[in-house]
């Protein structure tokens, strides 16, 4: 944008300078002259030039001629009833024949004589006036200036209708002739200083090359060889056309550099005035404004158009400017110099292109470097060409790698095992994979957005899935599927959100399996237990027809079945269910377990010795599971230990891998375990001894629970018996202080 | 005393009925939940014993219905073959005063029924000395003696021990214990309660060998039980 402003300002300044200074005049003159040639038309019949040409000079002798010749010519004109005469011959110095000439002038009464006003004058005067000799000026109808204004290329394009200095005003020599047909411009207001001013400048319209006007040779008119009546009422100019007399000027509409006699310039001015005036020039302000207009259009175009369109716009504006200039000149008699505007257009485009190329090149360079920093290797061969071409090659290589990477990411997205969609910050879907298409079908087509997708799943508030801490739960779709949706906000390198990514995991089968598992557990925990419970209840009462031994065996089998079901349910829950977490004293847990097993222990005469230390061994865990774990360990010891023996439970603290642990040991006096048994000990459905009373699930439960609490269980063979050692992470700093 | 018994298993129904009659109460038997609810609308029972799993209505529904519609609700005992800890808590939360897992044992069932009836309809305790087997609470002195030997307890430990003994065979929720012993004291937590229970248990030697068992109930609270010699023989 800054570049744009600089280009705009600099080209505008250039245009202004060209429009207001004469620098571009040369180009403007070319256009002007071409247009002037296009205006060539017939010369006005009413104008006649009496030429002092080579033939007249040959016949009448060297210039200057005696003034009698001029007196005779004027008399001829008088006889022929010619119209007003502009006699473009200087009679500045007095001469002996002035009286005769004055007589002829008086007789005619319509002859104007020329004055030359040169600026600056001699000796510090503002101007020098070369006026006709006073006696001639007196006799003439009037005097007029014949000053020419020569442009800096030497051509005469404009002539002042009036010269002014102080309160002096000189009208142009041909004004009286023009006044015969049209009102001529009035003189401007008098000046206040002596400087010579050219006022009411009129652009001269040249009708074709020199010689267009009707021209008679001076000698022919003098000799009366002009057809009678030819000169009657014609506007007559008398002047030199012979090349030797030097009064010749470059003008527009002289195609091959020919010079035009001064008298023809005056005649052209006369015809211009008779035709109502030449093309008017625009004021500098208008020129400036109109020159800047096409430039500003182009500069504005830079902002919105592509380079090719800019090029076309520039060319179009150049053509339009030239056309408008020509149209105004030919149809509206208005002259707008187009070169400043055209130069602005021509220069602004490359200036802008250069700046854009420089910017693009710098950008490519920085992007290539950024790619290299980001580790995108630019392995493409650096081909020849200029700097920009090499940069383009490097960038192309980088872009190709990025495109490969994008395809890789896109392929990865497509291959994701869950339905996944990617949305822009306005939640409109921009990417999706096959599974998402399978899930949503046609709803992923045009204009799909996240609210729509979620609504199609029967879920109106999709944004709650964005909360990283929230648990939005699962979506049950109208067609009975269970989906787990997870959404997250995509952010760019600056952490600004650039979109959303949403994943829909199909939990239907998983949930179905889970439901089956729950139902199986339900079956085991109640439906299978209930008949066993009834068997035991029946045997508890009077059972006629059964001997006590059979009764006890049936009860044992029923109880085993119950234990098996219980062990299985406990193991399944220990493996899959979420755990509670409470602060527990392992000593109390051991005591609870011992109390639970007291009936069985006392029946077998076994004493369970629990630690009676005052020390607390705090662990973080699920109280029910840890109690059952300990119960299982004690139960195991009770089953395999001898009658009337003892089971010792000990508690101590230790460190394991630098962390404090509680160590709970259960030491029995049983037969001990073989290596093989020890290995299979903690597997489900294996068990350690020859006694098949247990189903072997108890220790698998112990291992599962210990590991899920971050602890371990291991077996140690004792000299007699076996020792099971449980370690659990110890909580040293209980924040809760006891209540007094 | 009239006790309503609901179980869809005729064997269980007869067993419970026997225990109720043996304890000296009158049993009215139901095998369908809806039938019990209809009876409760018209009749008054002094206690309700319900099974959890029934063909028509869940035992929990009946507990909830009774808590909502009977004022005052009679003591209610839930018997169930669902022995999971979560199930126990769900039953107590639904409004049961106590629960018993199946298979039922005669002395335990009888002890629970008696405990619930006694607590609901007992006369106010006479001030002075309360005795539970060899344990004597001296209310005036705020002290406890076991087999004549005085055991030093703090005021809170004394109150806790007395509360447990006065509610023998009854499940007490943590909230109930905290409110009764500590009132509405703030910054008191579960862990503090556990430590007090642990100290009372150690000081009074509430172990089965000594005739009493203190059982924690999963995430619910505690129950103190008297261990009868007969129970050990049957339950093994």
Q: What is the CATH number of domain B129-235?
A: 1.10.10.10
At B47 the pLDDT is: 93
At A599 the pLDDT is: 86
At B122 the pLDDT is: 66
Q: Give which of B174, B208, B231, B234 to mutate to test A binding, by max A Cβ within 10 Å.
A: B208
At A543 the pLDDT is: 64
The SS3 assignment for A333 reads coil
Taking alpha carbons only, the member of A305, A410, A396 closest to residue A352 is A305
Contact A583 B156 (CB under 8 A): no
pLDDT per residue over A551-586, tens digit each? Answer: 888 888 888 888 888 888 888 888 887 888 888 899
Considering CB atoms only, which of A583, A595, A736 is closest to B213? Answer: A595
Q: pLDDT-based confidence at B4, cuts 50/70/90?
A: very high
| Neighbouring residues of B27: CB distance < 8 A, sequence distance ≥ 6 | B3, B5, B16, B17, B20, B21
| Neighbouring residues of A477: CB distance < 8 A, sequence distance ≥ 6 | A457, A458, A483
**Mean pLDDT (10-residue bins), chain A, 740 residues:** 81 83 79 79 84 87 85 86 86 83 86 84 77 84 85 83 82 84 78 77 80 86 81 86 81 75 86 82 84 85 82 87 87 83 84 83 83 65 70 80 85 85 85 83 75 82 78 80 85 85 87 84 78 84 76 86 83 82 89 89 89 84 90 89 90 89 91 71 56 60 90 83 90 56
d(CA A254, CA A331): 22
Q: Which helix (H) or strand (E) element contains residue A505?
A: strand A497-506
At B184 the pLDDT is: 67
The domains of chain A are located at 2-23+282-365, 45-274, 374-411, 416-506, 511-575, 579-729
At A694 the pLDDT is: 47
At A382 the pLDDT is: 57
Residue of chain A whose alpha carbon sits nearest to that of B89: A624
Considering CB atoms only, which of A536, A569, A591 is closest to B103? Answer: A536
**Which residues in chain B touch residue A740, judged by CB atoms under 8 angstroms apart?**
154, 156
Considering CB atoms only, which of B14, B81, B214 is closest to A526? Answer: B81
**Which residues in chain B touch residue A639, judged by CB atoms under 8 angstroms apart?**
none
Considering CB atoms only, which of A532, A598, A737 is closest to B208? Answer: A598
Q: Give which of B21, B80, B103, B214 to mutate to test A binding, by max A Cβ within 10 Å.
A: B103
Contact A736 B232 (CB under 8 A): no
CATH entry, A416-506, from 3.40.1410.10, 3.40.640.10, 3.30.590.10, 3.30.450.20 = 3.30.450.20
Q: Are strands A156-165 and A482-491 parallel, antiparallel or unpaired?
A: unpaired
Contact A533 B103 (CB under 8 A): yes
Contact B102 A537 (CB under 8 A): yes
**Which residues in chain A touch residue B213, judged by CB atoms under 8 angstroms apart?**
595, 598
Tokens standing for A106?
Answer: 């008086």
Considering CB atoms only, which of B191, B195, B231 is closest to A599? Answer: B231
For B2-121, which CATH superfamily applies? Response regulator (3.40.50.2300)
CB atoms within 10 A of CB A316: 15
d(CA A61, CA A59): 6
Contact A537 B104 (CB under 8 A): yes
**Which residues in chain B touch residue A611, judged by CB atoms under 8 angstroms apart?**
none
CATH topology of domain A579-729: Heat Shock Protein 90 (3.30.565)
**DSSP string spanning A486-501?**
EEEEEE-TTS-EEEEE
How many Å lie between the alpha carbon of B11 and the closest alpha carbon of chain A? Answer: 6
Residue B113 in contact with residue B20, Cβ under 8 Å?
A: yes
Q: How far is the first Cα of chain B from the last one, in angstroms, to the nearest whole number?
A: 32
Taking alpha carbons only, the member of A85, A73, A97, A9 closest to residue A48 is A85
* Rounded (5°) CA angle A366-A372-A375: 145
At A375 the pLDDT is: 66
d(CA A373, CA A490): 23
Q: Are strands B172-173 and B149-151 parallel, antiparallel or unpaired?
A: unpaired
Residue A489 in contact with residue A466, Cβ under 8 Å?
A: yes
pLDDT per residue over B117-170, tens digit each? Answer: 887 776 656 667 888 888 888 888 888 988 888 998 898 899 999 999 988 888
In this prediction, residues B182-191 reach a mean pLDDT of 74
Interface of A with B (CB under 8 A): 525-526, 529-530, 532-534, 536-538, 540-541, 562, 566, 569, 573, 580, 582-585, 588, 591-592, 594-596, 598-600, 602-603, 612, 623-624, 627, 734, 736-740
How many Å lie between the alpha carbon of A559 and the closest alpha carbon of chain B? Answer: 10
d(CA A293, CA A295): 5
Residue of chain A whose alpha carbon sits nearest to that of B228: A599
CA-CA distances (angstroms) from residue A13 to A69, A306, A343, B31, B138?
60, 25, 12, 108, 113
């Amino acid at each position: 944008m800054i570049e744009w402003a600089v280009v705009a300002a600099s080209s505008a300044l250039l245009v202004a300078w060209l429009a207001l200074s004469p620098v571009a005049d040369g180009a403007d003159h070319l256009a002007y002259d071409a247009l002037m040639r296009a205006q060539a038309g017939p010369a006005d019949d009413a104008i006649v030039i009496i030429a002092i040409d080579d033939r007249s000079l040959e016949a009448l002798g060297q210039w200057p001629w005696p003034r009698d010749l001029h007196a005779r010519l004027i008399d001829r004109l008088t006889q022929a009833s010619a119209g007003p005469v502009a006699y473009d011959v200087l009679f500045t110095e007095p001469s002996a024949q002035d009286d005769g000439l004055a007589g002829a002038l008086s007789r005619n009464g319509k002859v104007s004589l020329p004055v030359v006003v040169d600026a600056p004058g001699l000796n510090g005067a503002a101007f020098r006036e070369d006026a006709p000799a006073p006696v001639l000026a007196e006799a003439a109808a009037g005097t007029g200036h014949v000053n020419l204004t020569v442009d800096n290329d030497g051509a005469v394009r404009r002539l002042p209708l009036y010269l002014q200095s102080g309160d002096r005003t000189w009208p142009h020599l041909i004004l009286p002739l023009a006044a015969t047909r049209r009102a001529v411009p009035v003189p401007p207001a008098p000046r206040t200083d002596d400087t010579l001013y050219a006022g009411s400048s009129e652009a001269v319209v040249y009708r074709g090359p020199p010689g267009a006007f009707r021209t008679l040779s001076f000698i022919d008119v003098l000799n009366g060889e002009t057809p009678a009546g030819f000169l009657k009422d014609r506007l007559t100019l008398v002047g030199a056309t012979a090349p030797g007399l030097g009064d010749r000027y470059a003008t527009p509409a002289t195609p091959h550099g020919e010079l035009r006699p001064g008298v023809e310039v005056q005649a052209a001015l006369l015809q211009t005035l008779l035709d109502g005036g030449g093309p008017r020039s625009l004021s500098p302000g208008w020129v400036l404004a109109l020159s800047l207009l096409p430039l500003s259009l182009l500069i504005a175009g830079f902002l919105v158009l592509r380079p090719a369109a800019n090029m076309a716009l520039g060319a179009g504006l150049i053509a339009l400017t030239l056309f408008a200039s020509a149209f105004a000149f030919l149809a509206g008699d208005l002259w707008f110099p187009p070169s400043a505007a055209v130069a602005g257009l021509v220069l602004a485009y490359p200036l802008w292109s250069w700046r854009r190329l420089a910017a693009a090149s710098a950008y490519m360079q920085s992007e290539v470097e950024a790619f290299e920093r980001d580790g995108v290797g630019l392995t493409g061969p650096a081909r020849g060409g200029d700097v920009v071409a090499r940069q383009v090659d490097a960038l192309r290589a980088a872009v190709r790698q990025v495109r490969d990477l994008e395809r890789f990411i896109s392929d990865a997205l497509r291959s994701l095992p869950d339905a996944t969609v990617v949305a822009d910050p306005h939640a409109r879907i921009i990417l999706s994979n096959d599974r998402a298409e399978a899930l949503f079908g046609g709803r992923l087509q045009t204009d799909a957005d996240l609210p729509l997708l979620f609504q199609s799943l029967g879920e109106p508030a999709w944004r709650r899935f964005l909360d990283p801490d929230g648990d939005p739960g699962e979506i049950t779709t109208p067609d009975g599927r269970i989906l787990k949706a997870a959404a997250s906000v995509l952010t760019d390198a600056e952490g600004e959100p650039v979109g959303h990514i949403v994943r829909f995991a199909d939990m239907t089968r998983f949930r179905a399996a889970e439901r089956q598992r729950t139902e199986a557990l339900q079956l085991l925990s109640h439906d299978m237990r209930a008949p066993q419970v009834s068997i035991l209840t029946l045997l508890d009462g009077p059972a006629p027809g059964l001997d006590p031994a059979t009764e006890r065996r049936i009860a044992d089998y029923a109880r085993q079945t119950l234990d098996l079901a219980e062990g299985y349910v406990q193991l399944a829950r220990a493996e899959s269910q979420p755990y509670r977490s409470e602060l527990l004293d392992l000593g109390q847990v051991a005591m609870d377990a011992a109390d639970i097993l007291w009936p069985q222990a006392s029946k077998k005469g076994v004493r369970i010795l629990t630690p009676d230390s005052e020390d607390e061994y705090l662990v973080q865990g699920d109280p029910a599971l840890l109690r059952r774990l300990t119960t299982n360990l004690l139960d195991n010891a009770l089953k395999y230990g001898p009658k009337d023996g003892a089971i010792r439970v000990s508690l101590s603290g230790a460190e394991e891998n630098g962390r404090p642990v509680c160590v709970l040991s259960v030491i029995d006096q049983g037969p001990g375990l073989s290596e093989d048994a020890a290995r299979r000990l903690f597997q489900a459905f294996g068990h350690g001894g020859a006694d098949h009373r247990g189903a072997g699930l108890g220790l698998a439960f112990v291992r599962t629970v210990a590991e899920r609490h971050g602890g371990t269980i291991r077996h140690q063979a004792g000299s007699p018996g076996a020792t099971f050692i449980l370690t659990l992470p110890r909580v040293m700093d209980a924040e809760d202080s006891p209540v007094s | 005393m009239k006790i309503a018994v609901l179980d869809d298993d005729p064997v269980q129904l007869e067993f419970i009925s026997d225990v109720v009659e043996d304890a000296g109460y009158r049993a009215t038997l139901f095998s369908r939940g809806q039938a019990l609810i209809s009876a409760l609308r018209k009749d008054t029972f002094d206690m309700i014993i319900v099974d959890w799993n029934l063909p028509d209505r869940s035992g929990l529904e009946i507990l909830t219905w009774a808590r909502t519609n009977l004022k005052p609700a009679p003591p209610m005992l839930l018997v169930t073959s669902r022995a999971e800890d979560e199930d126990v808590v769900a039953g107590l939360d639904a409004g049961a005063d106590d629960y018993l897992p199946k298979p039922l044992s005669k002395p335990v069932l009888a002890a629970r029924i008696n405990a619930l009836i006694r607590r609901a309809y007992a006369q106010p305790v006479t001030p002075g000395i309360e005795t539970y087997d060899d344990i004597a609470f001296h209310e005036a002195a705020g002290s406890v003696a076991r087999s004549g030997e005085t055991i030093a307890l703090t005021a809170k430990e004394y109150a806790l021990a007395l509360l447990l003994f006065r509610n023998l065979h009854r499940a007490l929720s943590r909230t109930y214990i905290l409110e009764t012993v500590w009132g509405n004291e703030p910054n008191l937590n579960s862990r503090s309660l556990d430590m007090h229970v642990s100290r009372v248990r150690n000081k009074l030697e509430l172990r089965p060998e000594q005739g009493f068992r203190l059982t924690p109930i999963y995430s619910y609270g505690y129950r103190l039980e008297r261990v009868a010699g007969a129970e050990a023989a049957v339950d093994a």
